[in-house]
Each structure stands twice: as C-alpha cells, then as structure tokens.
C-alpha cells in the first residue's frame, strides 16, 4: 500500500532562519506521521497568487511569517475570528474547498501565560506591554480576550503606542509615555516585552525593574538569547520570568493539528532541539 505523505510548510522572505521546520518535523517523527514540513521562500509580490494556488496542490497548509502575514490574510477565502481581530494571518489551511486565513499568535501567547498565572489572577491584575509592532497587537488581543482589566502600552516611539491604542479603542487599554515607563513598571502584575530590544545582536531594553512588584511576572517574547538581559535582571531581583520559546511552541501546536489532523504528542518537548538549532544554526 502506498502511503501519501502529508505536506505542509512555512512561507517567508527570507525563510532560511525559521525554526518552524525543526519544530514540526520533530513532532511528525515523534507522532509517527508520514509527512514533511518544508521552508518555502515566497517573494512578497507573488505571495497572494502563491497562497491562492495552494488550493490546487496537495499541500495541507502553510504557516506564514514576516513580511507576508498581510498578504496571507488577503489571500484567504475566509478568515477566522482570531485572524480578523489582528488583520493578519500566520496560518493558511484548506477546509471544504476553501482557503482559510487563521492566526495562532494570540493562542500561542496566551497558553503559557495561562499555565503560569491562571485566568483568575489575570482577571484581577494589570499588565504593561512594551512595544507597538506586530507582536504587540497579538499580545493586546490575547490580554483583552483573557479579560485583563487594565493594560498599559508603552513604546520607544510614543506616537506608535498612541496610534495602536486608538485603533484598538477599548477603555481598559491606555498608552503611557516612554518617559514614564518605570512608573508603569511599578503598577503592573505582568510585564511583557513585545519589542525587539534585547534580541541577540541588538541593544538591551532600556527599562529598570527596580520598582517592579515582588510578585510580578516578566514575560519576554524574545527567544534568542534564551535568557534575555531583561529576564536576567528580573531573576536577579527574584521576579518570575517566562521566555519567548514557550510562545513559539504554543503557536505552532494548533497549526500542526490543522495540517496533520492531530495535536503533537503531549510528551514530545522540542525545547532542547530548538535551542540546539539556534546554537548551531543548523535547521
Ligand atoms: P516589529 O513589528 O518590528 O516591532 C518592533 C518593536 O520593537 C517596535 O515597537 C519598536 O519600537 C521596538 N524596538 C525596537 N528596538 C527597540 C529598542 N532598542 N528599545 C525599545 N524598543 C525597541 O517587531 P515584532 O514583529 O512586533 O516583534 C517584536 C519582538 O517579538 C521580536 O523580538 C520578535 O522576535 C518577538 N516575537 C516573538 C514571538 C514568539 O513566538 N516568541 C512571536 C512574534 C514576535 P519603535 O516603534 O520605537 O521602533
């Protein structure tokens, strides 16, 4: 009997750096599924046509990374609620002959947070979000869905935080000027770095945690390095931390299910193979 392998992949421009193939191919092997997950370089000008052509192939679906998430959203015949909330898609899959644009970033951000803090604590606390780019939108969407009652947003360029706050337009979310970021640190139970500051090769985030609450959780979305300068400072002050790799893994799990028909095996923890791939550069 011939077994037809199930194919999926990740599209970006460039794409060679993506960790998603390491993650999904590891899960495929652990689950014993005959399949493969392949990186595809897709040029931004051709992306919408390339995505629409998925319906004419045997590819089950694709994840989509920078800078193609807007085109992925446009290419879908329909969009899920999570994709509509963000206006961008990181996952395209086929259902009943239609191409569905979906976004797993909010779920990916929320899952490790819920495990660590619990819904009750989140619904009775306040959050500070640092950064006003694409990741920040997913973070805000997730925090609002989780019912966090007070959310401050601060960004190095104040105007971008103010813009994002007025786009989202809910009373529980407000912008704090960058100059007052440390006042906001002192008021937050949850501090999220959704900025690029602190990534390997970039400057550390210019925020002191000296006045942070002793029970505050510091969630840094960055996963290279594994322990960011912000997380190091938090640890030295006895604060709890959560790193970005948990989010990376948690946003991939629902995509895996959509492409291959089942969740990755619960006992298959890809953390170490991902760090090996980051350390060696081998994908
Ligand atoms: P983006 O759209 O390019 O936004 C970058 C943000 O970082 C902007 O708000 C920018 O502020 C801020 N920033 C850059 N350098 C800074 C500095 N030195 N000091 C203070 N702020 C600085 O990027 P993104 O897509 O939102 O991604 C942001 C981070 O999240 C990246 O590090 C990415 O790796 C991480 N991320 C992780 C996951 C995960 O699964 N763990 C998923 C998505 C993203 P300005 O507006 O002032 O330029």
User: What is the reported pLDDT for 4?
Assistant: 85
Strands 240-242 vs 217-220: parallel, antiparallel or unpaired: parallel
Query: Distance from the CA of 239 to the center of ligand 1, in angstroms?
Result: 22
| Residue with CA at minimum distance from ligand 1 atom 44 | 135
187, 82, 196: which is closest to 130 by C-alpha?
196
The whole-angstrom separation of Cα 262 and Cα 254 is 9
Name the catalytic one among 6, 55, 69, 160. 69
Positions of the chain with pLDDT lower than 50, given as ranges: none
Query: Distance from the CA of 32 to the center of ligand 1, in angstroms?
Result: 36
- pLDDT tens-digit map of 43-95: 999 999 999 999 999 999 999 999 999 999 999 999 999 999 999 999 999 99
The whole-angstrom separation of Cα 109 and Cα 221 is 8
Query: What number does the ligand 1 atom closest to the CA of 224 have?
Result: 34
The structural domains of the chain, ordered by start, are: 6-103+251-280 (3.40.50.10860), 106-242 (3.40.50.720)
User: What is the reported pLDDT for 1?
Assistant: 66
User: What is the reported pLDDT for 3?
Assistant: 79
| 55 included as an active-site residue | no
65, 106, 49, 55: which is closest to 83 by C-alpha?
106
Query: What number does the ligand 1 atom closest to the CA of 105 have?
Result: 42
Query: What number does the ligand 1 atom closest to the CA of 245 have?
Result: 41
């Amino acid at each position: 009997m011939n077994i037809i392998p199930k194919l999926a992949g990740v599209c970006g421009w460039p794409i060679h750096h993506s960790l998603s193939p390491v993650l999904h191919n590891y899960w495929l092997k652990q689950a014993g599924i005959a399949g493969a997950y392949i990186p595809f370089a897709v040029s931004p000008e051709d992306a919408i046509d390339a995505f629409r052509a998925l319906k004419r192939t045997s590819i089950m679906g694709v994840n989509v990374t920078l800078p193609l998430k807007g085109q992925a959203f446009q290419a879908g015949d329909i969009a899920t609620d999570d994709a509509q909330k963000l206006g961008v898609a990181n996952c395209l899959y086929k259902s009943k002959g239609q191409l569905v644009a979906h976004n797993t970033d909010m779920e990916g951000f929320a899952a490790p947070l819920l495990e660590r803090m619990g819904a009750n604590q989140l619904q009775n606390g306040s959050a500070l979000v640092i950064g006003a780019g694409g990741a920040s939108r997913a973070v805000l969407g997730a925090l609002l869905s989780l019912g966090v009652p007070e959310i401050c947003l601060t960004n190095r360029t104040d105007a971008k935080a103010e813009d994002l706050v007025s786009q989202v337009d809910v009373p529980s979310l407000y912008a704090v000027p960058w100059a007052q970021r440390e006042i906001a640190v002192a008021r937050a139970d949850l501090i999220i770095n959704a900025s690029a500051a602190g990534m390997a090769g970039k400057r550390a985030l210019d925020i002191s945690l000296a006045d942070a609450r002793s029970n505050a959780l510091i969630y840094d979305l960055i996963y290279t390095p594994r322990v960011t300068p912000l997380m190091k400072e938090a640890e030295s002050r006895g604060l709890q931390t959560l790193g970005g790799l948990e989010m990376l893994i948690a946003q991939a799990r629902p995509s895996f299910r959509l492409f291959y028909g089942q969740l990755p095996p619960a006992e298959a923890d890809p953390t170490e193979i991902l760090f090996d791939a980051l350390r060696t550069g081998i994908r």
